[in-house]
Amino acid sequence: MGKIKVLPDQLCNQIAAGEVVERPAAVVKELVENSVDAASHRIRVLVHKGGRSLVRVVDDGEGMSPEDALLALERHATSKIASVQDLQNIRSMGFRGEALPSIAAVSRLEMITREKDAVFGVRILVEGGTIRTVDEVGCPPGTSVTVRDLFFNVPARRKFLRAVDTEAAHISDMFLRQALANPELSWQLVHQDRTVHDFPKAASLRDRAYQVFGATLAKSLFPVDFNTENVVIRGLVGPPELQRANARSLFLFVNKRPVKDALLTHAVLTAYDTLLPKGSYPFGILLLDVPPPLVDVNVHPTKREVRFRDPSLVLEMVRQALNEALASAMQASWARSFYVSSASLNPTGKSTAAREGQSALSSLPQADLHASKRVQPQPEPVQLTWLHRPMASPSDQELFGPSPPLNSSAVLGSSSLKILGQLACTYILLEAQDGLILIDQHAAHERICYERLRRTSSSSGSQRLAPPQVLDLPPVEGDALKRWLPDLQALGFEVEPLGGGSFVIHAMPSVLKPVDPGLLLRRLVEKTPAEDRTPRAELLEHLAHTAACHSSVRAGQRLQTEEIRHLLAELDALELSATCPHGRPLWWKITLDQIQRFFYRS
């Protein structure tokens, strides 16, 4: 007698359930995705006790015939793929034919379904994987699946369920992600007879964001709209002020599938790099549309992770999409703050300034236009609390929006302005004719480094080290550095590999001189993911960033007036392009007019 046996189907289903049905939220996800695949317009989710006692998903989709409904409960029965080729071209959410039998194996499941043209529907009751009854019933077209007593027959799993509130929170999170991925559908979530979310069908992602996050937050989001031949990236991302301490406010989707993907998260973070403090995450909704053959969605039991055929390409595109979005968002908010100040200076709107403001506005996206229009020329009461919290809400943004990235030295002419002093060892305060200018000294210095590096080449601005410096790196980081070498050389570095992770640094760009070259390169490779193909612009950003972090002008550093003067002169000497790599503002002007309005003096 052999020892090996083929397991019965019911046991297979229970085992599969172990992977697919992690918790009630996973049931919601699977059922809801089936409803999306069934071309529903309206999806309702009802939950009791965080989904432990009941999850019901009701849709108005295409429904199933009685024969199909029975088949759907069989393992590996699906209407979504039929061949290996189909597997490479998946557009539907489901394709494994595993969810229904798995869920049915660990619960009491009731399925009621009717095709639109059928006279009757069918109701099937399954208990722990065994079909109990099959009846003809009268019911509306579409499908309703009710899952009661999850894990009633798997006590070990039942024990791992968390408190009702925790499970409910997971369900709500899952529900929101699905609702964001499908704005054109209407969604309702009811927990214990209380309507938690009710989103009528929305015309756009922005409208859905209004429903989900409320007007205040949604209004502050910038559009992302990036198209290449293959990849389309759309979405809404938040200003840096909306930062969070974890990635939970990053809603990432690949072909409408909610994913938690380290690569994509990394891509988003690199785009925001200098805009956000370490360890914080931006708010963002990002939908990637990738041709199915270029992405494998069949790598995770709940399909929460995906694998890209060319990860570095995707990384680069997300970065680029976000950089573009952030740069134009910063320009838009500049135009807006300009409009606010000029409109309020001259309520008739007839001054040249106001006209220019208007024309700058005309190129803004619709939503931003509305935001600007909402600002009245009359003084607005500013709440005192503004003083005590960081610039966060859009209304503050409208009143005191960040200034533009330095477009040209003529805009600021900072070195001719009176230096008032330094604030919190971080900001330089200058008196302008029409207000107060704050300069972020660290950001300014970083920009100076960046712009200078951009102009450096191996023939100009390289400085030899005497004696040369030896650099020892761990193997992975050594490999990363080797990939950078040609680019580093073009910038004026001369780095010789000695084998293993050892290198000798013979020369470095003189722009970076005050900073230890070994430390610079070490930090550089530490930030680079192992399999990354890094574009040159990113290398420059890394280097400038690192150099600025280790220079004497970093944030929190007291500066002598002479040092400030020097920094301003350097700033003015640069011809900065209108769009900087990050769109991060270097300076911020509070106009006298804004100050007067604050004190009710206008």
Between helix 24-37 and helix 164-181 the angle, nearest 10°, is: 20
Cβ closer to ligand ADP: 112 or 264?
Answer: 112
For ligand ADP, which residue of 72, 179, 491, 553 counts as binding (CB under 6 A)? 72
* Shortest separation between residue 61's beta carbon and ligand ADP, angstroms: 5
Q: How far is the CB of 298 from ligand ADP (least distance, A)?
A: 11
Of 16, 54, 58, 99, the residue at the interface with ligand ADP (CB under 6 A) is 99
Residue 99 in contact with Mg ion, rule: CB under 5 A: yes
φ/ψ of 80, rounded to 5, equals -95, -25
| 62: contact with ligand ADP by CB under 6 A | yes
Pick between residue 185 and residue 521 the one whose CB is nearest to ligand ADP: 185
Amino acid code (one letter) for 402: P
**Rounded least distance, CB 56 to ligand ADP, Å:** 12
Interface residue with ligand ADP among 42, 96, 158, 506 (CB under 6 A) is 96
Task: Give the binding-site size for Mg ion (rule: CB under 5 A).
Answer: 3
Kindly report the backbone phi and psi dihedral angles of residue 4, in degrees, each rounded to the nearest multiple of 5, phi listed first. Answer: -95, 135
Q: Does 94 bind Mg ion (CB under 5 A)?
A: yes
Decide: 155 and 261 in contact? Cβ < 8 Å.
no
Spatial strand order of the sheet with 284-289 comes to 222-227, 232-237, 284-289, 250-254, 257-259
Q: Does 255 bind ligand ADP (CB under 6 A)?
A: no
Tell me how far apart the alpha carbons of residues 495 and 465 are, in angstroms, rounded to a whole number.
Answer: 11
Q: Please spell the DSSP secondary structure of 359-374, one letter per residue.
A: HHHHTS-HHHHHHHHT
Q: Are strands 284-289 and 250-254 parallel, antiparallel or unpaired?
A: parallel
The answer to whether 95 contacts ligand ADP (rule: CB under 6 A) is yes
Q: Which residue is nearest to ligand ADP, using beta carbons? A: 94
Nearest Cα to Cα of residue 412 among 585, 266, 235: 585
Other Cβ atoms less than 10 A from the Cβ of 167: the count is 20
Region from 2-10, 56-64, 329-337, 572-580 binding ligand ADP, contact rule CB under 6 A: 56-64
Residue indicated by tokens 């191996």: 458
Taking the least distance from each CB to ligand ADP, the nearer of 87 and 436 is 87
**Given the DSSP bridges, would you call strands 427-432 and 418-423 parallel, antiparallel or unpaired?**
antiparallel
> Does the footprint of ligand ADP cover residue 270 (CB under 6 A)?
no
d(CA 594, CA 523): 42
| CA 254/CA 308 separation, integer angstroms | 10
Tell me how far apart the alpha carbons of residues 204 and 208 are, in angstroms, rounded to a whole number.
6
**Residue 75 in contact with ligand ADP, rule: CB under 6 A:** no
Do β-strands 121-127 and 130-137 pair in parallel, antiparallel, or remain unpaired?
Answer: antiparallel
Between the two ends of the chain, the Cα-to-Cα distance in Å is: 96
Q: Which is nearer to ligand ADP, 94 or 128 (CB)?
A: 94
Q: Does 34 bind Mg ion (CB under 5 A)?
A: yes
What is the distance between the alpha carbons of residues 29 and 504, in angstroms, rounded to a whole number?
A: 54
Q: By CB under 6 A, tell whether 34 contacts ligand ADP.
A: yes
Residue from 13, 14, 107, 143 that binds ligand ADP (CB under 6 A)? 143
Among 26, 38, 205, 586, binds ligand ADP (CB under 6 A): 38
Q: Compute the CA torsion angle 539, 540, 542, 547 (nearest 10 deg).
A: 140
- Closest approach, Cβ 99 to ligand ADP, in A, equals 3
Does the footprint of ligand ADP cover residue 59 (CB under 6 A)?
Answer: yes
Minimum separation from the CB atom of position 519 to Mg ion (A): 52
Query: Which of the stretches 98-106, 234-242, 387-395, 477-485 binds Mg ion when contact is defined by CB under 5 A?
Result: 98-106
**29 or 589: CB nearest ligand ADP:** 29
Instruction: Taking the CA atoms of 523, 528, 533 and 535 in sequence, report the sign of the dihedral they define.
Output: negative
Which residue carries 């409960």 as its tokens? 73
Q: How far is the CB of 300 from ligand ADP (least distance, A)?
A: 14
Q: Does residue 80 interact with ligand ADP by CB under 6 A?
A: yes
Where does residue 180 fall: left (phi above 0), alpha (psi -120 to 50 degrees), or beta otherwise?
alpha
Q: Which amino acid makes up residue 327?
A: A
Give me 98's structure tokens: 């595993």
Cα Rg, the chain, nearest whole Å: 29
The 281-310 contact track toward ligand ADP, x by CB under 6 A, reads: ------------------------------
If the CB atoms of residues 78 and 342 are measured against ligand ADP, the closer one turns out to be 78
17 lies in the binding site for Mg ion (CB under 5 A): no
Binding flag, residue 100, ligand ADP (CB under 6 A): yes
**Rounded to the nearest whole angstrom, what is the least distance from the CB of residue 119 to ligand ADP in the complex?**
18
Choosing from 24, 50, 63, 240, the residue that interacts with ligand ADP (CB under 6 A) is 63
User: How far is 525 from 445, CA to CA, in rounded Å?
Assistant: 22
Q: Which stretch binds Mg ion (CB under 5 A): 86-94, 201-209, 285-293, 567-575?
A: 86-94
> Which residues of the shown chain bind ligand ADP in the complex (CB under 6 A)?
30, 34-35, 38, 59, 61-64, 72, 77-80, 94-100, 143
> Which residues of the shown chain bind Mg ion in the complex (CB under 5 A)?
34, 94, 99
